[in-house]
Chain A
């Protein structure tokens, strides 16, 4: 039996067992879930050793001359300290490593968000109002309307998340101002459309995955039948 055919049959049965979830949660489905988790963990461990630790830490420590080893000793020590997080009693020893990871990660994320997302999105919100460069061959009116809808939808969506209220004199409860209530209502519509689009995208992605798996099953069964 060819290896490809063997793996194809294994994939076929595993797909059947996963699709058994249509009949409800069962032992076969849970078994397959555990198999996938175990395979993923083992694969990840082997991959990290052979593609991260070995070529990026161990081999340089053994081959690089002494002055350059300090560059690799520091991450090695920090990595070893990170292993102490497994012990509740000694987890404090891993705090320096965690502090470094968190600090560097936060700094990189904040810097990228400001320069990549915040400035980019502001620029994107303004660009439709640049009538000098009409995109897509449309008219300037269409571009302007699109820009207005986009800007209105952004402002209204932000207004929806304004939860402040002004307290009335004769009542213990407060209410939002009218200038906030109306955009919040409009923003709620935009948010619903966005969530609907996201749900449709998730459903579409899942349907595509299902179609691909069913096509695989058909492709496996069809030669056997014919």
Chain B
């Protein structure tokens, strides 16, 4: 067992000691010196009390305690009532008046005993002995008459006598407590709305020996200390009417109905809604003011308003706090005061036109959507029951007509003058005259067909019959002469020339160019020239093959497979020509057949364009010819550039001939015929077509002349009619 050492004298004290037995000073600072524990001898008594009680009979102990409680019970009750608030005391008093007195459950009075108890002759022997002796007997002494099973259940020392139980019941009843009995501290007398009698009796009726022991454990000095305290003043007895009023708020508190607004706003199908949807309503119900602060007049007014048609307004007004209602009332009062002061002196004004035109859109709009009701409660959907939500369907369903704007244009005089001038300028353009008579297309169609058929017929006749009426050209253009001289000089050299042939003409003009170029290519083949074809046109490689095949057929001794190489298509236009002029081996590395062209026997040892003996260009395109002149000619230096062009490109290329950038040129059938004239070719292709060409040109000239005369005569007749 631990001990407590006194901090003042150092003496050892038992653990339950409060004050030092040596110096009599307090061992603890927080212990009230007045509430000092009982002396050592008294504690000894408490410790031995249980053993003492075992030896004593239960009836004796209860009798003693009953006496003690009768002495201290009134004091204890008075002390407890001094701590009870007034309202609780009134409740208790009222309940005591209303509820039947628990004294009816007091121990049975002798006169109320049943008849068999009053007649001693009918009593059993053991009861008579008890009544005569009036001394509790141990169970062992009376156990002779008890059955064996009852002895085993009760035990020898724990089962009290029947007489000892009755005083205990009276002791723990409220009535007895009020009169001086032991007041059990665990009884919740202060619970509102509950009757103490029901709780007490129901709970403590099955009295056991433990309960008895607890009651017996109360020391005697405790009763003496309680009895020594002064008796507190009893609270004033309430009047009979006051408890009734106080009970009203109790009834209101207990049976407080749910706020009417929440009940009205609850959705009809509450079973489908989650539980959290009802939280606002529960919150409002929880925030019901204190009973003393309830304003029943406001509540009645709200209920009355709910029944009427103005339910939302009444709800909002009832929901508003008092301070807000007062503020609104003040605002209304101020407005009324302002109107009453200013209204009599003001006249109804008219809005000026300019101000009317400047007013905002909301003022000009005839109808605007009704403003959103902030107190609107969402009736359906997952947000049902909430206020102040943004309206969804209202914006869509509510339609307002668009505002009407004025179409009148406000212009100044200067602007009006300018507009008038502009209108006079375009008035002729906007004037719609009578639709012209639809002309028949038949004469034009007939005329066009007649011209075509006549031309084709004439050409066919010239080709078929070949009359030889057209004379060969006697005047040869100087560029054709230069072309011929250059070719003759190169082919007459000891070493066969190697010629780079650029083929840039479309298949549609191959009839002209291939005919002209055939004579030139035959002359190059006759001189055993090496020909390397390259083209800026996609169809160039095929045209080159066709040209070589036709010309090679006329020169059987020429080995085209060895002396001709087709470098194919050169993509990139002018850029490709620049690359060709810079490094032909990289610009056109391989032939159409996939052979490394610059390693072939024909082109072996050549690294630049200037290594070619001549450059011959077959073209019907002015732009491509100019690109050749601009990109390749500066790179080849003195290497001659010979051009065989279509008749349509010759006029545009003539300046380059005059400037010397084109060494020689043959253009069209005329140039081809002149070249054949120079070469003295007897079976030239140009010669076979010359009659047809001349006939066709003559016919075209005749058509142009006839057409000009015809339109001239028609204009003369028109002017005559107008005159």
Which A residues lie at the B interface, using CB under 8 A? 19, 22-24, 40, 43-44, 47-48, 51-52, 55-56, 104-105, 108-109, 112-113, 115-117, 120-121, 123-125, 127, 135-136, 150, 194, 197-198, 200-205, 207-215, 218
Q: In the complex, which residues of chain A have a beta carbon less than 8 angstroms from the beta carbon of B512?
A: 205, 208-209, 212
Q: In the complex, which residues of chain B have a beta carbon less than 8 angstroms from the beta carbon of A40?
A: 538-539
Across the interface, name the chain B residue whose C-beta is closest to A56.
B589
- Are A55 and B659 in touch, CB under 8 angstroms? no
Is B573 interfacial (CB-CB < 8 Å)? yes
B 198-229 binary contact with A (CB < 8 Å = 1; else 0): 00000000000000000000000000000000
B 447-476 binary contact with A (CB < 8 Å = 1; else 0): 011001101100110011000000000000
Among B647, B650, B689, the residue within 8 A (CB) of A211 is: B689
Across the interface, name the chain A residue whose C-beta is closest to B656.
A120
Across the interface, name the chain A residue whose C-beta is closest to B661.
A120
Q: Contacts A127-B659, A218-B464; is A208 near B445 (CB within 8 Å)?
A: no
Q: Which of the segments B149-157, B316-324, B398-406, B693-701 contacts the partner chain?
A: B693-701
- Are A208 and B630 in touch, CB under 8 angstroms? no
Is B147 interfacial (CB-CB < 8 Å)? no
- Are A214 and B508 in touch, CB under 8 angstroms? no
Q: In the complex, which residues of chain B have a beta carbon less than 8 angstroms from the beta carbon of A202?
A: 647-648
Q: How many angstroms from the CA of A208 to the CA of B689 in the assembled complex?
A: 8
What 6 pairs across the A-B complex have the smallest Cβ distances?
Answer: A124-B659, A116-B630, A212-B511, A112-B630, A208-B512, A22-B452
- Are B630 and A22 in touch, CB under 8 angstroms? no
- Are A124 and B658 in touch, CB under 8 angstroms? yes
- Are B651 and A194 in touch, CB under 8 angstroms? yes
Q: How many angstroms from the CA of A117 to the CA of B445 in the assembled complex?
A: 45
Is B17 interfacial (CB-CB < 8 Å)? no
Among A43, A47, A209, A218, the residue within 8 A (CB) of B509 is: A209
Across the interface, name the chain B residue whose C-beta is closest to A44.
B538
Among A109, A150, A207, A215, the residue within 8 A (CB) of B658 is: A150
Is B626 interfacial (CB-CB < 8 Å)? yes
Is B575 interfacial (CB-CB < 8 Å)? yes
Is B702 interfacial (CB-CB < 8 Å)? no
Q: In the complex, which residues of chain B have a beta carbon less than 8 angstroms from the beta carbon of A213?
A: 511
Q: Contacts A116-B626, A120-B656, A201-B650; is A207 near B700 (CB within 8 Å)?
A: yes
Is B643 interfacial (CB-CB < 8 Å)? no
Across the interface, name the chain A residue whose C-beta is closest to B441.
A24
**Shortest CB–CB separation between residue B578 and chain A, in angstroms?**
5
**Shortest CB–CB separation between residue B188 and chain A, in angstroms?**
82
**Shortest CB–CB separation between residue A219 and chain B, in angstroms?**
9
Q: In the complex, which residues of chain B have a beta carbon less than 8 angstroms from the beta carbon of A44?
A: 538
**Shortest CB–CB separation between residue B657 and chain A, in angstroms?**
9
- Are B697 and A204 in touch, CB under 8 angstroms? yes
Among B449, B459, B647, the residue within 8 A (CB) of A210 is: B459
Q: How many angstroms from the CA of A214 to the CA of B462 in the assembled complex?
A: 11
**Shortest CB–CB separation between residue A33 and chain B, in angstroms?**
12
Is B569 interfacial (CB-CB < 8 Å)? yes
- Are A209 and B511 in touch, CB under 8 angstroms? yes
**Shortest CB–CB separation between residue B78 and chain A, in angstroms?**
98
Among A105, A121, A125, A207, the residue within 8 A (CB) of B693 is: A207
- Are B459 and A205 in touch, CB under 8 angstroms? no
Q: How many angstroms from the CA of A44 to the CA of B233 in the assembled complex?
A: 126
Q: How many angstroms from the CA of A215 to the CA of B464 in the assembled complex?
A: 8
- Are B693 and A215 in touch, CB under 8 angstroms? no
Is B280 interfacial (CB-CB < 8 Å)? no
- Are B569 and A47 in touch, CB under 8 angstroms? yes
Among A24, A52, A112, A116, the residue within 8 A (CB) of B569 is: A52
**Shortest CB–CB separation between residue A210 and chain B, in angstroms?**
7
- Are B659 and A211 in touch, CB under 8 angstroms? no
Among A104, A112, A125, the residue within 8 A (CB) of B627 is: A112
Q: How many angstroms from the CA of A44 to the CA of B537 in the assembled complex?
A: 10
Is B670 interfacial (CB-CB < 8 Å)? yes
Q: In the complex, which residues of chain B have a beta carbon less than 8 angstroms from the beta carbon of A203?
A: 700
Is B655 interfacial (CB-CB < 8 Å)? yes
- Are B651 and A201 in touch, CB under 8 angstroms? yes
Q: In the complex, which residues of chain B have a beta carbon less than 8 angstroms from the beta carbon of A113?
A: 630
**Shortest CB–CB separation between residue A23 and chain B, in angstroms?**
6
Q: List 6 A-B contacts (CB under 8 A).
A: A44-B538, A197-B651, A204-B647, A204-B648, A204-B670, A205-B620
Q: In the complex, which residues of chain A have a beta carbon less than 8 angstroms from the beta carbon of B511?
A: 208-213
**Shortest CB–CB separation between residue A147 and chain B, in angstroms?**
10
**Shortest CB–CB separation between residue A28 and chain B, in angstroms?**
16
**Shortest CB–CB separation between residue A126 and chain B, in angstroms?**
10
Q: How many angstroms from the CA of A212 to the CA of B693 in the assembled complex?
A: 10
Across the interface, name the chain A residue whose C-beta is closest to B514.
A212
Q: In the complex, which residues of chain A have a beta carbon less than 8 angstroms from the beta carbon of B568?
A: 51
Across the interface, name the chain B residue whose C-beta is closest to A126.
B659
Among B456, B569, B574, the residue within 8 A (CB) of A214 is: B456
Q: In the complex, which residues of chain A have a beta carbon less than 8 angstroms from the beta carbon of B630?
A: 112-113, 115-117
Among A43, A112, A136, A211, the residue within 8 A (CB) of B696 is: A211
**Shortest CB–CB separation between residue A94 and chain B, in angstroms?**
17
**Shortest CB–CB separation between residue A218 and chain B, in angstroms?**
5
Q: Contacts A201-B649, A213-B511; is A105 near B629 (CB within 8 Å)?
A: no
- Are A124 and B569 in touch, CB under 8 angstroms? no
Is B58 interfacial (CB-CB < 8 Å)? no
**Shortest CB–CB separation between residue B61 and chain A, in angstroms?**
106
Is B633 interfacial (CB-CB < 8 Å)? yes
Other A-B contacts than A202-B647, A204-B697, A212-B515, 20 sampled, CB-CB below 8 A, are A43-B542, A44-B538, A51-B568, A104-B575, A112-B630, A116-B633, A117-B626, A120-B656, A127-B659, A198-B648, A200-B647, A201-B648, A202-B648, A208-B647, A208-B693, A210-B455, A213-B511, A214-B463, A215-B692, A218-B464
Q: Contacts A112-B631, A208-B689, A214-B456; is A123 near B659 (CB within 8 Å)?
A: yes
Most chain-B Cβ atoms within 10 A of its Cβ — which of A43, A120, A150, A218?
A120
> Which residues of chain B from 528 to 577 have a CB within 8 Å of any chain A CB?
538-539, 541-542, 568-569, 571, 573-575
Q: Contacts A44-B538, A198-B648, A209-B512; is A108 near B575 (CB within 8 Å)?
A: yes
Q: How many angstroms from the CA of A204 to the CA of B693 in the assembled complex?
A: 9
Q: How many angstroms from the CA of A117 to the CA of B540 in the assembled complex?
A: 25
**Shortest CB–CB separation between residue A209 and chain B, in angstroms?**
4
Is B590 interfacial (CB-CB < 8 Å)? yes
Q: How many angstroms from the CA of A180 to the CA of B218 in the assembled complex?
A: 143
Is B274 interfacial (CB-CB < 8 Å)? no
Q: How many angstroms from the CA of A120 to the CA of B692 in the assembled complex?
A: 38
Q: Contacts A211-B689, A212-B512; is A55 near B590 (CB within 8 Å)?
A: yes
Q: In the complex, which residues of chain B have a beta carbon less than 8 angstroms from the beta carbon of A218?
A: 460, 463-464
Among B456, B571, B647, the residue within 8 A (CB) of A205 is: B647
Is B235 interfacial (CB-CB < 8 Å)? no
Q: How many angstroms from the CA of A208 to the CA of B659 in the assembled complex?
A: 28
Q: In the complex, which residues of chain B have a beta carbon less than 8 angstroms from the beta carbon of A135?
A: 478
Across the interface, name the chain A residue whose C-beta is closest to B573.
A105
Q: In the complex, which residues of chain A have a beta carbon less than 8 angstroms from the beta carbon of B578?
A: 108, 112
- Are B538 and A47 in touch, CB under 8 angstroms? yes
**Shortest CB–CB separation between residue B690 and chain A, in angstroms?**
10
- Are A24 and B449 in touch, CB under 8 angstroms? yes
Q: In the complex, which residues of chain A have a beta carbon less than 8 angstroms from the beta carbon of B539?
A: 40, 43
Q: In the complex, which residues of chain A have a beta carbon less than 8 angstroms from the beta carbon of B542?
A: 43
Across the interface, name the chain B residue whose C-beta is closest to A219.
B463
Q: How many angstroms from the CA of A51 to the CA of B576 in the assembled complex?
A: 14
- Are A124 and B660 in touch, CB under 8 angstroms? yes
**Shortest CB–CB separation between residue B546 and chain A, in angstroms?**
12
Across the interface, name the chain A residue whose C-beta is closest to B672.
A208
Q: In the complex, which residues of chain A have a beta carbon less than 8 angstroms from the beta carbon of B668?
A: 201, 204-205, 208
- Are B569 and A19 in touch, CB under 8 angstroms? no
> Which residues of chain B from 601 to 638 have a CB within 8 Å of any chain A CB?
620, 626-627, 629-631, 633-634
Q: How many angstroms from the CA of A32 to the CA of B669 in the assembled complex?
A: 28
- Are A43 and B538 in touch, CB under 8 angstroms? yes
Q: Contacts A43-B539, A121-B655, A205-B646; is A212 near B697 (CB within 8 Å)?
A: no
